[in-house]
Amino acid sequence: MKLSESFFYTLREDAKDEDSRSGNLLVKSGMIKKTSNGIYMYMPLGYRVLKKIENIVREEMDRAGAQELEMPHLLSQDVYKESGRLDNFGPSMFKLNDRYNRPFALGPTHEELFVKAAAMKIRSYKDMPFNLYQIGNKYRDEVRPRLGLIRVREFSMKDAYSFDIDSDSLDKSYQKMYQAYINIFNRVGLDYKIVKADTGVMGGSLSEEFQAITDTGEDILVLCDTCDYASNIEVSKCLPRKFEKEEKLSKQLEETPNAHTIEEVSNYLKIPGYKLVKTLIYKTSDDFYACLVAGDRDINETKLSKSLGSEVELASFEEVERITNALVGFAGPIDLNIKIIIDDEVLNMTNFVVGANKTNYHYTNVNLDDFKYDMVADIKNIKEGDICPSCGKRIYFKKGIEVGNLFKLDTKYSESLNLQYLDSNNKLNYVYMGCYGIGIPRIMASVVEQNNDEFGIIWPLSIAPYKIGIVVISSKDEEQMKYALDLYEKLKNSGYDVILDDRNERPGVKFNDMELIGIPIRITIGKKISENKVEIKYKREEAILIEYNKLEEELKRIMEEK
RNA sequence: CGGGAAAUGGCUCAACUUGGUAGAGCACUUCGCUUGGGACGAAGGGGUUGCAGGUUCAAAUCCUGUUUUCCCGACCA
């Protein structure tokens, strides 16, 4: 592509409405443009990157034996009614009506349709295994779109679905996808971790995530270098701490004026947070629960909701005050008339402090015999520096962007949508499914988050919009232009992605643009061309001067090496 | 859906407090000059100030409503 004859622009100023480094760089370099909150145009340059990522994904999926197809995005809501997920998605599904007022939706995910597709083929155990996938847009009315391409409402996703006769066979299909994912994320040049994760609205028995490591990430990863433990904090186990044994004392009502928060109470009573027990009131669709954790811990709502078998939500201030007969901040388990769940760590605690369900009062020296509880479970978040649930050494945190996930769905959807097959004993069985997602724009954003500097993006060769950029120092110099055009044609004919910056601009403008849009290999044709020499530069490394006719050799070397 | 901020040529912002009919830099057009790190000079074009009401002789400016965007807390690729 010749820049002088192309749609090409970059911005000089930062984008005012972007809140992430990657979003800002992608907008500034003319790759994307926001049209609405969480909805973007992909400009020609950005579109090339997107398509290159898609193609890598496609190649690896095909290589793993999956077959590509295309599903509609406009779907009757009946599709989700059948599986019972219409309510599950709730407001995050874009809903609309057709002219006869029949309810439709823009597809947020496609398990149901793939089951229908699979049903066209599956009759007997001989019909499996197989794996179907598509690369297409998903629509989700996210609560808060943000961070450029990281959380958007319309995005291209690769979603694959495997169909197997039993759990062992599913495991093999799953492993194939796992390996394909490793290949994909290596090829796009991401620094990532694979972590255990929550199965969420997808359901099923196992979920793992591929997480791009970056501080911009929205997820917290729990990692251990000693044993390779890696988990999303949402589902990470947290072993209870042991505390020093103490003689049990009897409980005391103590005035704690205006001490609502753990910090205020621990300051007022001059005791550390781990001598307090926090009581938080949660509600499910039909009940309230008091949840107790050590004062210096946070509740993990994912684990809590797993333990209760229901979605949970923090009760409102009004509800808390009605239940405890006290202002918020003084809730406690003693004489409380709702179900009580205690974190397993509380079992190890003695002589602790709890709210007294009376404004401005707490109980001190409380022990487990002082109140009844209905359930013990691990409902706390693990903290940095806690011991590793797997090997007992210390864990640490990193932030990540979820770029891919794998789920073992087992028979969840085949049961709700009645997908069965006949086994060799002439018995009907439910099909075992797995589903596997990759967010294409998220890869794009994550790669930018991980590969940029003060000048701009630094694309890896594999997904750069163009691998090579030729800069002509003076477009009015006939000799320079002659060689540049010659080189441009030659490289293009050899199959390289190449752009030629032949604009009538000063060299600084051209260099800055090449760096902003992140072209990995820059060839500069300037005055030295009269001595048959040009400059070649890989990413931000030092430029080197080489003979014009040794260029192709050098390019080959770079492509192979990097 | 809650809490905070903003909306003015293509972009980044000023003028608003104290109403008087909109300005700068960048970008753009033409000419000249310049070409190894976002040059320079001259002359130009472009905005009914997010939208709708209201107050006023007069509204970018004050008031009310509304929409959109951004930031802080509950979803997921």
Residue A141 CA, nucleotide B50 C1', distance (Å): 24
* Contact assessment for residue A473 and residue A531, using Cβ atoms and an 8 Å cutoff: no
Nucleic strand B contact set for A 239-278 (CB, < 7 Å)? none
Residue A297 CA, nucleotide B58 C1', distance (Å): 62
Residue A481 CA, nucleotide B35 C1', distance (Å): 13
Please, which positions of strand B sit below 7 A from a protein CB? 1, 11-13, 25-27, 34-39, 68-77
d(CA A142, CA A148): 13
Q: How far is CA A489 from CA A162, A523, A531, A555, in A?
A: 45, 14, 21, 15
Q: Which residue has the tokens 């679905």?
A: A161
Say what the pLDDT of residue A318 is.
80
Which residues are bridge partners to A40 per DSSP?
A34
Q: How far is CA A493 from CA A173, A245, A471, A486, in A?
A: 41, 78, 18, 11
| ipTM, two decimals | 0.92
Nucleic strand B contact set for A 24-63 (CB, < 7 Å)? 34, 36-38
pLDDT of chain A, 562 residues: tens digit per residue: 999 999 999 999 888 888 899 999 999 999 999 988 899 999 999 999 999 999 999 999 999 999 999 999 999 999 888 888 887 777 888 988 899 999 999 999 999 999 999 999 999 999 999 999 999 999 998 888 889 999 999 999 999 999 999 999 999 999 999 999 999 999 999 999 999 988 765 556 789 999 999 999 989 999 999 998 999 998 999 999 999 889 999 999 999 988 888 888 888 999 988 999 999 998 887 789 999 999 999 899 888 888 888 878 888 888 888 888 888 889 999 999 899 999 999 999 999 999 999 999 999 999 999 999 999 999 999 999 899 999 999 999 999 999 999 999 999 999 999 999 999 999 999 999 999 999 999 999 999 999 999 999 999 999 999 999 999 999 999 999 999 999 999 999 999 999 999 999 999 999 999 999 999 999 999 999 999 999 999 999 999 999 999 999 999 999 999 8
Question: Which two three-digit tokens encode residue A64?
Answer: 């793993």
Q: How far is CA A488 from CA A92, A464, A515, in A?
A: 48, 17, 19
Nucleotide nearest to A109 (CA to C1'): B77
A298 touches strand B (CB under 7 A): no
Q: What domains sit in chain A, N to C, each tagged with a CATH number? A: 55-236+397-448 (3.30.930.10), 252-377 (3.90.960.10), 466-561 (3.40.50.800)
A476 touches strand B (CB under 7 A): yes
Nucleic strand B contact set for A 405-424 (CB, < 7 Å)? 405
Gyration radius of chain A's alpha carbons: 29
